C-alpha cells in the first residue's frame, strides 16, 4: 500500500533493511499503533532483551492483523531501545525477519528507560491499510461449471493424499487440488545424473519403531529400506574451523568442562522437553523467551550454545535466538524428545531411508484414489464459505464446491489464500507469525563412499558451516554414493548467495576437512544437486517446518492452527502432535482431519462455529 524512496548512493545498502522514506497512497486507511512492549498476553515480561523484541513484534503483529493489514503495509516503524549497544544491534535480526523483506521507514531511538521498568524494547508503527479486498463476484464464479464434492483438499502432499484416502474409505467424495506439477509436497525424489540411485531433495528418513504409519505405508507399497550408517566416527568442526572425530552417540572431544556442560544442557533440554504436553504446550515463561534465553538462563557455556545452535539449524534452519523455547521443546517432544528426534539409530528420526525415494509414498497413495481425484497445476486462490457449502476457486477461476475443505498448506502459505469470510484472526495471526529459517539440502554425489575407509560413518556437524549437519545417503545396492548436506541457518544463507562454482568449492573444502580427505575429495566428486526450499513459494519459502517466535503459542493458544473453523479443517505436518515436520506427522494430520470430517458429517454437524 505504498512505495519507497531510496537515494541511490546510499552507502552500506546491503545492511539496510528500511527505506529512506515510504509514501502512503491518498486513499490509505492509516492505523496509528501505540507503543508495543515485549510482554506476554498475561503481562509477563521476560528478563532478556531479545525475547522482549520478539514479543513486542508479535504484539505489533496482532494489532496489524486486527486492523486487517499485513506487515507489508507498515509505512513507518519507530523502535525504542534501552541500553542500546551499537556493536551488537540485536534488534536488527528479529526485525528483519519480522519484516520479511518489507522495508518501511524507520527510526531507532535509544532511551534510558521505558514506561515500565522491566521493559527494554518498545516499537510503534504507522500502518497504511489497503482498501478492503474485492472478492470475485459469486455470479462470475459459481456457474454451472462448479464441480461438487463432499470434500475439497488443498495440497497433494502426504497430508492431503492421506486425507483423500481416508475420506474415500469412509465413502465420501473428494478432489485434491495441487498447485505443483507433481504430488509429494515437501517429499521430492530425483535420480542422480548417473541414474544410479535416488536423491531426496525433501524429506528423507523414517523409522520402524514409533513411525507406525510410515513403516506401514512402506510395507504396504513394498518399498525397500536402507538403514542409516552409524558405524564409525562422526566428524565435528569447531568454531575455529578445526575438525576432529568422535564416536557416534558420544560428545565431541572438547575440553572436559565443555563436555560436561554440553551433556548437562542436552540433558536439561531433554528433561524440560519431556515435561511439555505434546498436544497442548502451555508455559507462559518458556514461551516468553527465545531458546537462546532459555539456554543462557541455564548458564550454558559457549560450546553448549554452539551445540544447541547445530540442533536448531539442522532441525529448523534457525538459530536459538530466533524461536520460542517452548516451541522448540514441544517440537522435540513431538519426535519423542531431543535425543530420539536427532537420532540416526533404531527409533530415531533419521534411521531408515527408502531406496525408491520417499516421493513414492505420495505417488502410490495417489494411485489408490479414484482416477482424476488429484488435479495438478491447480492453484487455489480463494476459499469462500457460504451457508453449509464452501467454494474453492482456483487461479483460473474454476470452482470446486464442497461441504468441507481441508487445507494442508504450510501455515505461512495460509495468508496467501483469500478466505471469505476472512480467516479466523487467531489463524491469520499464526499464519503471519509462523516463519521458516534458512534451510536447503545439497546432495554431494561421489564415486565411492570415501569416508567409510577413513573410519567415518558420514555424520558430521559444524559450528561454522556452510553445512551444519552432513549425513550419509548412499544406496549401496545401487552403487549410488552421496552425502546429504543440511545447509541451515545464517552461514548457509551466505553460502547460498554465492555463485554455483564457489558454493561447490566451499562445500567440498568443508567436507574434505571434516572427513580428512582434503587431497582426494575433488577426484571423488561427481555432482552437486541442491534444492533451495527457501526459494519455494508453494512451501512458504522454507522447510521442513515453520517455527514460532516467543509469545505466539501463549497468546494465540497452542491449538489455534489445528482447530477447525466453520467447514474448514487444517492439516499438514506442522499441525501434528507427533513427529511435527516429519512425514509421519503429515500422514497423522491427514488422518486426523479426515476423521474430524467423517465424524462431523456422520453426526450431521456439518457446520461448526
User: What are the residues binding its own copies (CB under 8 A)?
Assistant: 5, 7, 9, 11-12, 18-35, 41-43, 62-63, 66-67, 75-76, 78, 80, 84, 86, 104-117, 122, 124, 126-129, 131
Of 26 and 144, the one with the shorter C-beta distance to its own copies is 26
| Residue 433: its H or E element | helix 425-433
Please state, in angstroms and rounded to a whole number, the distance separating the CA atoms of residues 224 and 440. 26
Nearest-CA neighbor of 266 among 323, 232, 307? 307
Cell numbers placing 526: 561427481
Cβ-based nearer residue to its own copies, 5 or 275: 5
CB of 276 to its own copies, least distance (A): 23
**3-class SS of residue 49:** helix
For the bound state, the minimum distance from the C-beta of residue 55 to its own copies, rounded and expressed in Å, comes to 14
Find the distance separating the first CA and the last CA of the chain, reported in whole Å: 33
- For residue 52, give the nearest of 1, 143, 107, 122 by alpha carbon: 122
Does 574 appear as a known binding residue? yes
**Nearest CA to 462 among 295, 180, 279, 235?**
235
Cα–Cα distance, 119 to 112 (Å, whole number): 11
Flag whether 494 is marked binding. no
Distance of closest approach, residue 36 Cβ to its own copies, in angstroms: 8
Residue 43 C-beta: closest distance to its own copies, Å = 5
- Nearest approach, Cβ of 396 to its own copies (angstroms)? 33
Q: Which grid cell is 153? A: 483438499
C-alpha grid cell for residue 223?
518399498
**111-131 core/surface letters (b: 16 or more CB in 10 A; e: else):** eeebeeeebbbbbbbbbbbbe
If the CB atoms of residues 106 and 304 are measured against its own copies, the closer one turns out to be 106
As measured in angstroms, the least distance from the Cβ of 425 to its own copies is 9
In whole angstroms, the minimum distance from the beta carbon of 34 to its own copies comes to: 4
d(CA 73, CA 69): 6
State the Cα–Cα distance between residues 22 and 5, nearest whole angstrom: 6
Shortest CB 88 distance to its own copies, Å = 12
Q: Which three cell numbers stand for residue 580?
A: 511435527
Shortest gap between Cβ of 101 and its own copies (angstroms)? 17
Query: In terms of CB distance, is 123 or 402 closer to its own copies?
Result: 123
DSSP 75-98: EEEEEEEET--TTT-TTHHHHHHH
Q: Which is nearer to its own copies, 101 or 241 (CB)?
A: 101
Specify the length of the chain in residues. Answer: 609
Q: Which is nearer to its own copies, 337 or 425 (CB)?
A: 425
Least Å from the CB of residue 527 to its own copies: 45
Report the residue number, 123 or 167, with the smaller CB distance to its own copies: 123
Is 468 annotated to bind a ligand? Reply is no
Q: Quick one: three-class SS letters along 458-474?
A: EEEEECCCCEEEEEECC
The grid cell for 405 is: 475443505
Measured CA to CA, the distance from residue 330 to residue 590 in angstroms comes to 20
Asked whether residue 380 is marked as a ligand-binding residue, the answer is yes
DSSP string, 222-289: TPPEEEPP--SEEEEE-TTS-EEEEETTS--S--HHHHHHHHHHHHHHHHHHHTS-SSS---HHHHHS
Distance CA 96, CA 103 (A): 9
Shorter beta-carbon distance to its own copies: residue 114 or 276: 114
126 or 153: CB nearest its own copies:
126
Rg of the chain taking only CA atoms, in angstroms: 24
Q: Which residues are annotated as a binding site?
A: 178-179, 380, 486, 574
Residues making up the annotated binding site for substrate are 486
Q: Known binding site for FAD: residues? A: 178-179, 380, 574
Amino acid at each position: 500500500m505504498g512505495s519507497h524512496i531510496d537515494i541511490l548512493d546510499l552507502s552500506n545498502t546491503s545492511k539496510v533493511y528500511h527505506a529512506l522514506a515510504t509514501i502512503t497512497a491518498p486513499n490509505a486507511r492509516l492505523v496509528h499503533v501505540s507503543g508495543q512492549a515485549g510482554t506476554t498476553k498475561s503481562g509477563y515480561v521476560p528478563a532478556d532483551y531479545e525475547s522482549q523484541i520478539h514479543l513486542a513484534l508479535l504484539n505489533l503483529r496482532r494489532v496489524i492483523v486486527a486492523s486487517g493489514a499485513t506487515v507489508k503495509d507498515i509505512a513507518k516503524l519507530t523502535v525504542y531501545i534501552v541500553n542500546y549497544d551499537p556493536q551488537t544491534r540485536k534488534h536488527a535480526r528479529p526485525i528483519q525477519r519480522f519484516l520479511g523483506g518489507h522495508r518501511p521507514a524507520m527510526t531507532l531511538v535509544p532511551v534510558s528507560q521505558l514506561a515500565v521498568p522491566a521493559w527494554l524494547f518498545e516499537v510503534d508503527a504507522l500502518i497504511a491499510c489497503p482498501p478492503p479486498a474485492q472478492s470475485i463476484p459469486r455470479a462470475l464464479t459459481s456457474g454451472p461449471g462448479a464441480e461438487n464434492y463432499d470434500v475439497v483438499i488443498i495440497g497433494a502432499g502426504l497430508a492431503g493424499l492421506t486425507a483423500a484416502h481416508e475420506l474415500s474409505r469412509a465413502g465420501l467424495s473428494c478432489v485434491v487440488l495441487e498447485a505443483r506439477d507433481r504430488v509429494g509436497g515437501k517429499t521430492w525424489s530425483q535420480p542422480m545424473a548417473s541414474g544410479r540411485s535416488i536423491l531426496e531433495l525433501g524429506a528423507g528418513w523414517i523409522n520402524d519403531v514409533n513411525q507406525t504409519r510410515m513403516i506401514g505405508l512402506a510395507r504396504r507399497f513394498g518399498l525397500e529400506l536402507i538403514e542409516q550408517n552409524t558405524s564409525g566416527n562422526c566428524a565435528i568442526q569447531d568454531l575455529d574451523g578445526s575438525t576432529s572425530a568422535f564416536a557416534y552417540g558420544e560428545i565431541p572431544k572438547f575440553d572436559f568442562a565443555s563436555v560436561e556442560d554440553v551433556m548437562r544442557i542436552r540433558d536439561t533440554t531433554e528433561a524440560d522437553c519431556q515435561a511439555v504436553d505434546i498436544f497442548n504446550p502451555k508455559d507462559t515463561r518458556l514461551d516468553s523467551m527465545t531458546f537462546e534465553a532459555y539456554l543462557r538462563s541455564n548458564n550454558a557455556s559457549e560450546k553448549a550454545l554452539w551445540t544447541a545452535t547445530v540442533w536448531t539449524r539442522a532441525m529448523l534452519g534457525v538459530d536459538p535466538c530466533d524461536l520460542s523455547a517452548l516451541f522448540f521443546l514441544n517440537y522435540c517432544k513431538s519426535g519423542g524428545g531431543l535425543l530420539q528426534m536427532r537420532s540416526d539409530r533404531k527409533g530415531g528420526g533419521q534411521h531408515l531411508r527408502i531406496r525408491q525415494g520417499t516421493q513414492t509414498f505420495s505417488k502410490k497413495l495417489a494411485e489408490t484414489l479414484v482416477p482424476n481425484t488429484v488435479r495438478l497445476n491447480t492453484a487455489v486462490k480463494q476459499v469462500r464459505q457460504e451457508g453449509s457449502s464452501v467454494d474453492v476457486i482456483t487461479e483460473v477461476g474454476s470452482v470446486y464446491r464442497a461441504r468441507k475443505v481441508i487445507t494442508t498448506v504450510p501455515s505461512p502459505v495460509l495468508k496467501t489464500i483469500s478466505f471469505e469470510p476472512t480467516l479466523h484472526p487467531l489463524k491469520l495471526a499464526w499464519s503471519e507469525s509462523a516463519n521458516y529459517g534458512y534451510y536447503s539440502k545439497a546432495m554431494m554425489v561421489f564415486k565411492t563412499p570415501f569416508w567409510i575407509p577413513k573410519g567415518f560413518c558420514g555424520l558430521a556437524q559444524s559450528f561454522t558451516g556452510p553445512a551444519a549437519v552432513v549425513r550419509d545417503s548412499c544406496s549401496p545396492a545401487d552403487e549410488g554414493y552421496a552425502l546429504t548436506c543440511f545447509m541451515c541457518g545464517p552461514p548457509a544463507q551466505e553460502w547460498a548467495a554465492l555463485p554455483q562454482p564457489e558454493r561447490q568449492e566451499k562445500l567440498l573444502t568443508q567436507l574434505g576437512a571434516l572427513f580428512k580427505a582434503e587431497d582426494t575429495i575433488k577426484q571423488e566428486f561427481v555432482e552437486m544437486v541442491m534444492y533451495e526450499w527457501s526459494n519455494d513459494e508453494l512451501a512458504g519459502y522454507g522447510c521442513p517446518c515453520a517455527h514460532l517466535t516467543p509469545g505466539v503459542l501463549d497468546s494465540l493458544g497452542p491449538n489455534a492452527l489445528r482447530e477447525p473453523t466453520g467447514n474448514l479443517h487444517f492439516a499438514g505436518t506442522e499441525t501434528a502432535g507427533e513427529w511435527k515436520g516429519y512425514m509421519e506427522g503429515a500422514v497423522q494430520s491427514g488422518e486426523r482431519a479426515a476423521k474430524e470430517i467423517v465424524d462431523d458429517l456422520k453426526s450431521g454437524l456439518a457446520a461448526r462455529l
